Amino acid sequence: ILHSGSHFFDLLTFLFGAVRDFTLINQGENLCDYDSDPDCVVTFGESKVFFLSSREDNFKHFSVEVIASNGRLRLENNGLGKWEPLEVHPLILGDMRLGAEAETINCDLSRVQTEVMEQMALAMNHQQHSLCAGECALRNQEWISQIIIESKRQ
């Protein structure tokens, strides 16, 4: 959770607000003295986010699924995203369902470093940017450290 988890924590803090609390589900795999892969629920602002680990022996797997009051956002390992807005259910009166038409969000992973540099240039020129502030990143690292310590106690 220490390395890849920090990126997700920063993204989720940007989307939902600061970390408020966490609950350990299970201790997961002990990766080394300073890192582990626990399953946990983390509260970001008013949103609860489940972190479920997967073994990376043969491949890396990262996916995010955000269930919101107006639809579902899915981001996959390959940089492909899908937004599925809600629609009125055609058969059940007063019910909603995920729409049949999903909007594809193409995230070009070959441009990630370029996009980070563009955001850094904006920040250095005192323009609006989407970078995580250093203070926020350090607070998130403190939460991650608490999760790791708690997982090693069990």
The answer to whether 140 and 1 are in contact (CB under 8 A) is: no
Which among 87, 83, 45 is positioned nearest to 64, based on CA atoms? 83
Question: pTM of this prediction?
Answer: 0.76
Could you say which DSSP state residue 54 is in?
-
Q: Quote the CA–CA distance of 79 and 39 in Å, as a whole number.
A: 23
What is the per-residue pLDDT for 56?
Answer: 64
Q: What does the radius of gyration of the chain's CA atoms come to, in whole angstroms?
A: 18
β 71-75/80-88 pair status = antiparallel
| Residues ≥6 apart with Cβ < 8 Å to 18 | 44, 45, 136, 139
What is the per-residue pLDDT for 130?
Answer: 85
Rounded to 5 degrees, what are φ and ψ at 93? Answer: -60, 125
Kindly tell me the burial class for residue 86, based on how many C-beta atoms sit within 10 Å of its own C-beta (0-12, 13-18, 19 or more): middle
What is the per-residue pLDDT for 59?
Answer: 56
Q: What's the token pair of residue 32?
A: 């080394």
Per-residue pLDDT of the chain (154 residues; tens, 9 = 90+): 777 778 888 888 988 899 999 999 988 777 677 677 888 999 999 888 888 887 665 556 677 888 888 888 888 766 678 899 999 999 999 999 998 888 888 777 777 788 889 988 998 999 998 888 888 889 999 999 999 888 888 7
Helix 134-153 × helix 4-16 angle, to 10°: 120
Q: What's the token pair of residue 148?
A: 């790791």
